[in-house]
Amino acid sequence: MSNKTTIETTDDLLALRGPDGTVRTDGDLIINCSVPWSVGVQVSGLYVRGNLYVGGNLDVRGNLYVRGNLYVRGDYLVIAGDLIWSHAAVPLAPGKVYIRRILPPAWQRDHWQERLGMDISDGCYNEICETVLKKIINLLNDEKWTSTERWMLETLRDSRKEPPTWVADLQKERAAE
């Protein structure tokens, strides 16, 4: 049976933060409360080794790593940092989604090196992304990609663009709270 942590209040969420402001759980994380901007900015990242269930909206300013499945039942999902995604399928998400970049976990480096047809054996995420970005148009023209791989590559291609207007409006609204 998997370990489950249920968050009913924002105080419960903040109590889970480590010294670096990151919430880490070994099992599933269930968030049953709304997390307003004023609380969310106090969490620097979420690292969930199980499934992440969110009953409302999810707005993450940092990175999100979910080893299991991701379920968001709100009206929107915003990840201003990176989503580290190892699955072959796209997560269940609401109609409005903005994710700056979707990147594979480090342990998939050999797989992606083979799929990309380029050496990415050295460097950190930002360096590797710069290398891939130089060839992104040709890569996306290739028909070999699964829908999830294409989704990941498209977020990398678009990662330098400004977020959609609705995201900027939401960020302004949250900052005013």
Residue 54: closest CA among 119, 126, 64? 64
pLDDT of res. 126: 93
Q: Which residues contact 89 (CB under 8 A, 6 or more apart)?
A: 148
Pairing of strands 4-7, 28-31: parallel
Q: What are phi and psi of 34, to 5 degrees?
A: -80, 140
**pLDDT tens per residue across all 177 residues of the chain:** 468 999 999 999 999 999 999 999 999 999 988 777 778 788 888 889 889 998 887 887 778 888 888 988 888 888 888 999 999 999 888 888 999 999 999 999 999 999 999 999 888 999 999 999 999 999 999 999 999 999 999 999 999 999 999 988 887 877 676
- Is the Cβ–Cβ distance between 50 and 27 less than 8 Å? yes
